[in-house]
Amino acid sequence: MFYLPPLPYPMNALEPYISEKTMEFHYGKHHKAYVDNLNKLVKDTEFENMPLEEVVKNTAGRKEFTGIFNNAAQAWNHAFFWNCMQKDGGGEPSGELKKKIERDFGSYENFRSEFKTAATTQFGSGWAWLVSDQDGTLMILTTANQDVPDLKLYTPIFLIDVWEHAYYLQYQNRRPDYVQGWHKLIHWKKAERRYEQVLCRRERGNENGEQTDHKKRTGRDRL
């Protein structure tokens, strides 16, 4: 049984960039529908009592479970999306994440511009993501519809929903304005913590000698 996770802030907290009415529909109707559909589809299957992320990993790319994957992935993406934003968010990152954004994208401004381009040009419904690979290299990815980056390879740092249902009530067809507003909501502290966890896992891997060979092979010891 899966539950609609509570929002980490009140429904109107993201005003004026994401309106309360948008949240009522996006969280209260769309996200809820994915959770409700998932519950119907997993009943009496092996996925019924699995953590949501495991359902996503175990149904990805398996034709016979397309319906379960679509709804599980959307339930996961949306729960994550709410936790990538906060009231009075935005500004700029700090710490390791800031350093690595500057390393991998040249500058924060350049990152911001590349991310905005990715989010506004994703054709049709989908998501734009900042992810880290296991070595701590950051990259921007986009996925169509419900798709999730390969969670075995990448750790999502944050994402933006660019389905029309995410902005149409407030911005109509002006997706670039929505993306611009969303930048003022980014929860950088949580993003920084997610990234630090990637670096910790990498450290532990190095201590165990697991990634040392890989590093030597690829010469990618840029951390």
The residues of the shown chain that bind Mn ion, judged by CB under 5 A, are: 161, 163, 166
Residue type at position 134: Q
> How would you list the strands of the sheet with 138-144, edge to edge?
138-144, 126-133, 154-161
Of the pair 47, 163, the CB lying nearest Mn ion is at 163
DSSP labels for 138-174? Answer: EEEEEEETT----TTTEEEEEEEE-SGGGTHHHHTT-
Nearest distance, CB of residue 188 and Mn ion, angstroms: 22
Nearest distance, CB of residue 165 and Mn ion, angstroms: 5
Of the pair 94, 145, the CB lying nearest Mn ion is at 145
Instruction: Identify whether the C-beta of residue 27 lies closer than 8 Å to the C-beta of residue 81.
Output: no
Nearest distance, CB of residue 125 and Mn ion, angstroms: 8
Instruction: Identify whether the C-beta of residue 139 lies closer than 8 Å to the C-beta of residue 80.
Output: no
Instruction: Identify whether the C-beta of residue 137 lies closer than 8 Å to the C-beta of residue 103.
Output: no
Q: In the complex, which residue's CB is closest to Mn ion?
A: 161
Of the pair 25, 137, the CB lying nearest Mn ion is at 25
Nearest distance, CB of residue 81 and Mn ion, angstroms: 7
Of the pair 163, 195, the CB lying nearest Mn ion is at 163
